[in-house]
């Protein structure tokens, strides 16, 4: 073999080797693909997604499915270049920078914990929104989340305490508690009336002066709600806040006679607040593909996602634009009645 031929052969081998190694190298991207769908008025692993006790419920039919996005990649489990390239070529997959899902200041575990908490919060908020839509009274309360280390409230107030009154005046919301404390001079005591378990007790907490010269006790609180009956939601490992709308519809459906869908296969997405406002979400393209694969014919779409959804909607999937829970309920009523004119996402 001539020296020139040998040189070309070695060069070709090295080029191939480098190409193979390069293809196997991890890249800082995440591949988003359609995830599983779950029928909120159905079962998961033999258990109802939504269980209600202490209030009359009604049988229903059809599907009100939440949709999800699955991902590959992330810190400690990065994509290789070949997988990333394959995703870029697949219209049902979005390949995005790793920071989109995993900000540099957070770990994969922290992101997972945040998604779990967001799911829990969305279930609670969805319950309140559904009950508000049904005009079922829900009591607003203020609950202690935690106390600051070394602060006067530490050891006196406890996580889970419901603050019923301050200095004998009934609590009128989260802001009213802070305002009542600040009306004191630093060094004075504040009388908290708290409900702890089944008991109600008065707790005296001294104040200290903060950087602005105002009285504080070092307690962190949140606005919460007391539902008059029990609503349990279970969807396994699904995380994030984007199933809120579909949870609300599932609860509403179970608490009202008849089938909200009229037996249709409906999917949708969107965050929700206690007043029933629907918020935009991420991964709308992948979620529509997942809905279509699961047999959905109608897709409830947050108004904030309409433009992106209309550009990528799968054939045969009808987009219905919703801004509130009431919009979604009205759309279901119209579909059930056979009406064809519904708010649609712009083409």
Burial class (CB in 10 A: 0-12, 13-18, 19+), 61: middle
242 is an active site residue = yes
End-to-end Cα distance, the chain: 65
CA–CA distance, 66 with 70 (Å, rounded to integer): 13
Burial of 293 (0-12, 13-18, 19+ CB in 10 A): middle
Compute how many other C-beta atoms are within 10 angstroms of the C-beta atom of residue 97.
11
User: Which residues are within 8 A (CB) of 339 and not within 5 positions of it... i.e. 6 or more apart?
Assistant: none
Residue 168: alpha-carbon gap to chain centroid: 37
d(CA 269, CA 281): 8
Q: Are 58 and 257 in contact (CB under 8 A)?
A: yes
Catalytic residue, candidates 254, 287, 292, 321: 287
Is residue 113 a contact partner of residue 234, using CB atoms and an 8 Å limit?
Answer: no
Tokens found for residue 239: 């995380």
Single out the catalytic residue among 33, 65, 122, 242: 242
**b vs e for 255-282, b when ≥16 Cβ sit within 10 Å of the residue's Cβ?**
bbeebbbeebbbbbbbbbbbebbbbbbb
**287 annotated active-site:** yes
Alpha-carbon gap, residue 106 to 256, rounded angstroms: 43
Long-range contacts of 1-8 (CB under 8 A, 24+ apart): none
What are the catalytic residues? 242, 287
């Amino acid at each position: 073999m001539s020296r020139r031929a040998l040189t070309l052969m070695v060069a070709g081998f090295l080029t191939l080797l480098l190409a193979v190694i390069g293809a196997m190298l991890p890249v800082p991207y995440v591949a988003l693909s359609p995830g599983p769908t779950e029928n909120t008025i159905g079962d998961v692993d033999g258990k109802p997604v939504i269980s209600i006790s202490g209030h009359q419920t009604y049988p229903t039919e059809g599907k009100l499915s939440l949709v999800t996005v699955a991902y590959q990649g992330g810190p400690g489990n990065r994509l290789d270049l070949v997988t990333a390239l394959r995703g870029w070529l697949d219209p049902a997959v979005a390949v995005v920078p790793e920071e989109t899902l995993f900000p540099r200041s957070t770990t994969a575990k922290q992101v997972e914990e945040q998604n779990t908490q967001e799911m829990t919060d969305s279930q609670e908020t969805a319950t309140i929104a559904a009950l508000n839509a049904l005009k079922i009274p829900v009591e607003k309360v203020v609950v202690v989340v935690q106390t600051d280390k070394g602060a006067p409230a530490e050891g006196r107030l406890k996580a889970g305490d419901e603050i019923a009154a301050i200095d004998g005046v009934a609590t009128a919301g989260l802001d009213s508690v802070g305002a009542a404390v600040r009306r004191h001079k630093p060094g004075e005591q504040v009388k908290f009336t708290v409900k702890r378990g089944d008991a109600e007790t008065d707790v005296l907490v001294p104040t200290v002066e903060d950087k602005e010269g105002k009285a504080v006790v070092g307690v962190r609180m949140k606005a919460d709600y007391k539902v008059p009956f029990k609503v349990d939601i279970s969807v396994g490992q699904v995380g994030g806040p984007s199933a809120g709308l579909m949870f609300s519809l599932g609860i509403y459906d179970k608490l009202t006679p008849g089938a909200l869908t009229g037996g249709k296969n409906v999917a949708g997405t969107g965050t929700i607040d206690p007043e029933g406002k629907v918020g935009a979400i991420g991964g709308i393209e992948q979620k529509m593909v997942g809905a279509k694969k699961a047999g959905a014919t109608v897709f409830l779409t947050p108004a904030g996602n309409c433009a992106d959804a209309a550009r990528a909607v799968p054939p045969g999937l009808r987009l219905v634009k919703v801004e509130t829970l009431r919009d979604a309920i009205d759309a279901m009523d119209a579909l059930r009645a056979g009406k064809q004119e519904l708010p649609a996402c712009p083409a």
